[in-house]
Amino acid sequence: MYGITSEELINHIQQLEAHNNQLKNIINKSVAEECTRNNLSGKKDRKFNFSKCSKRHVMLKLLYLGWEYQGYTTQEDTTNTIEHNLFTALVRCCLVESRQTSNYSRCGRTDKGVSSFCQVVSLDIRSRLTPEQLSGGGNTIEEELDYSKLLNRVLPPDIRVLAWCPAPPDFSARFDCKERTYKYFFPRGNLNIEAMDAAVRYAVGCHDFRNLCKMDVANGVCKYDRRILSAEVKVLAMDPFDNNADTASAYDMCELTLVGQAYLWHQVRCIMGILLLIGQGKEKIEVMKQLLDIESHPMKPQYCLASHVPLNLFHCEFECSDWVISKEVLIGVIRHLQQEWTMYNVKSTMIRSMLLECQGMLSDGGDIQEQSSCLLQGIQAKGYQPLFQRPTCSSLENRIEHFVKKHRLEIACSDDRSN
């Protein structure tokens, strides 16, 4: 705040303090009124007695549309996360006492706006069965609580529990996952899909991906070797407005599919950011191979991440295959997804019809293909600067030295920060 006197600043602070006190009084009043209503209605704040219940270790398979959330993981400054909503539902259903006592583990950490069709968590959860039934084996699944149905009653509609599965007591959703599959959906636009597919093949195998991720040295991640099992870019669906199915349309939908054992922070979005530059013809196919050669290129050139919106943690592979899927729950999920699809597709079709009319109004009949240009975040320069002519980030060695000097990092570093 520029150009104000100290007296005006003091008055402004006093006004803010008064407003803060007013908000506190409103909250306290609402809480007091709620307590009074509960007392008048005879309600008692009785805690659930977990000591009388058995527990079992299970896996839960989650589906969520993450566009309106601040990421999967619980955060200190917001409650708008998938994990916060999950544990709110678990506690409300009296399935766990708290996260701290639930022996909880998650398969992946998706960032803000990222969705998932197959996020898997493992935890100790309340059971309807007796300890003898749980330890005796046999098919007691039908007698167990319907965890998916219970949780979906109280979860937000864009977070669903698809299935659950019994798991050994020492099972970890994070460390026992065999492979993770990410998908990234995007329109063809002016992109060369064949070139993108050829480029992403260089990522298959075990490589040092320090140039294709956001290095997280501050949190102890100093090793960036990861194994990609398969990688592919392909056309997923043809343009429904194109009467000639044999020709490529800028509105065709495509997908990148990456299958790997574990991922680094922003690894998929960095890879997709480079693929978009290759697809636009701004970089050669071999640039992917060059970025993986850390001997020749030890420092990451500065480039933009691909948007988070099209990214989906699509599958997590485990040895366990005995998923308990309720037909009633699955029908409910399908019904909700169909309704979501309807509303988004109606909007998409409406916009596409407007585009057709606008393109028909062009006097020169020019073909504008900007469908995929919005997927690269950041400000786009008027003149393109080749990747290896750009400023570079600090090297991994310099970052490690920096944090060691600040006593924020020990010499022995962790090698895992899976997504």
pLDDT, tens only, 239-295: 777 766 667 889 999 999 999 999 999 999 999 999 999 999 999 999 999 999 999
- Considering the domain 178-316 in this protein, what is its CATH number? 3.30.70.660
What local confidence, expressed as pLDDT, does residue 29 receive?
Answer: 52
* pLDDT of res. 252: 92
Which among 119, 164, 117, 137 is positioned nearest to 329, based on CA atoms? 164
- What's the confidence (pLDDT) of residue 28? 64
**C-alpha–C-alpha distance, residues 83 and 102, integer Å:** 13
Class of domain 55-132+139-175: alpha beta
Residues marked active site are found at: 111
Residue 419 confidence (pLDDT):
45
Total-model pTM: 0.84
Q: pLDDT at position 42, please? A: 52
- How many whole angstroms separate alpha carbon 57 and alpha carbon 77? 30
Burial of 197 (0-12, 13-18, 19+ CB in 10 A): buried
CA 22 distance to own-chain centroid: 38
pLDDT for the residue numbered 292: 96
Predicted pLDDT at 412: 53
pLDDT on residue 409 = 65
What is the C-alpha to C-alpha distance for residues 16 and 145, in angstroms, rounded to an integer? 50
Domain residue limits, the chain: 55-132+139-175, 178-316
What pLDDT is stored for residue 364 in this prediction? 74
Amino acid identity for residue 181 in this structure: T
pLDDT of the residue at 263: 95
d(CA 127, CA 95): 8
Q: Tell how strand 115-127 and strand 311-317 pair up.
A: parallel
Beta strand 159-166 with 115-127: parallel, antiparallel or unpaired?
unpaired
Which parts of the chain have pLDDT scores under 50?
A: 1, 36, 40, 417-419
The answer to whether 55-132+139-175 and 178-316 have equal CATH topology is yes
**Residue 369 neighbours by CB distance under 10 Å:** 15
Please give the structure tokens belonging to residue 80.
């708008």
